[in-house]
Amino acid sequence: MTLTVLGIDVPPALLDKWVGWLAPDEQPFFLTPQQADELGLEGTAREPSFEDRDTFWSYAVDKSASVIVWLSEAQFAALDKPVRAQLVRAQVRHGRGSVPTVRKWQGVLGPELRAQADGHRFVWWKSLLAKHADEILPEIVSEDLGPSRHAEVTAWPTAFPRARELAGTFADGSGPNCFGTVMAAAGVEGADTVWMVREPFEEWLATHTVPGGRDDEPGTVFVWRGGDQLVQHAAITIGDGWMLHKPAQSWRTPRKIRTVAEVRRSTRTAGWRLTRHRVTG
């Protein structure tokens, strides 16, 4: 069965990957050295994958939580319940992602969910997703995101044929981002499959665009910069008031079509400044 998430078809193979990214066989728990010592847990020298980083927000975790403990579901379940409760509460305090509330999900997963940790918060494991992945994953992926409106586009720009191919798709993992999506739509081969950092995007912007462009014509690149002038986000128009963009590099965020006005509203951030650039080739 193919699910539709944010207006995009998600085949079973991709849904299976989502399960693995939301609930990997081992997941990181972040603790201060004192907490790790008190709970009797040891850290592991292991780098999170791109998907781990985006699932668990490792980039946003409090720096005081410098000990990373990797646990499997069996290892987590073997801990005494008071230890599990303290461990999960610590994740909330330190800003780790994917520590949902029991209240939100016990209607789907049952009252026994309260027994996992402190009765208020829990962490995802594959056993929890086994029977409900097609119900849980679409809601998690859709959270705080508007749908892709690619089905409403009636005229696709012939000068940017890859825009239609990319619109309404999820990347095969974390990494592919807004910069690569814009470059790929403009014809840069392979740009949509990598984590495109600022420097190559800036080089492409300098050599393949000129300042200006119209919002209602294809090929206008919107570039948002912070107060330090570093580029923060980019999107590209496809004509008739439509725009292609990828909100973030996370596996959860698709390449979507939204109106220019919708993209501008969703990217409005204090201190960011918008400029326009017209693709020249």
Q: What is the pLDDT of residues 70-121, one digit of tens each?
A: 999 999 999 999 999 999 999 999 999 999 999 999 999 999 999 999 999 9
Instruction: Say what the pTM is.
Output: 0.93
Region 38-54 average pLDDT: 95
Domains in the chain with CATH codes: 24-123 (no CATH), 150-279 (3.90.1720)
Mean pLDDT of the chain: 96
- Neighbouring CB atoms inside 10 A of 228's CB total 7
Q: Which residues of 43-81 are buried (b: 16+ CB within 10 A; e: fewer)?
A: beeeebebbbbbbbbbeebeeebebbbbbebeebeebee
Q: What is the pLDDT of residues 159-174, one digit of tens each?
A: 999 999 999 999 999 9
Query: Which residue in 151, 149, 175, 158 sits closest to 253, CA to CA?
Result: 175
Q: Which two tokens stand for residue 263?
A: 């993209």
Q: What is the pLDDT of residues 240-277, one digit of tens each?
A: 999 999 999 999 999 999 999 999 999 999 999 999 99
pLDDT computed for residue 213 by the predictor: 95
For β-strands 8-10 and 231-239, DSSP reports them as unpaired
Q: Which two tokens stand for residue 26?
A: 């081992």
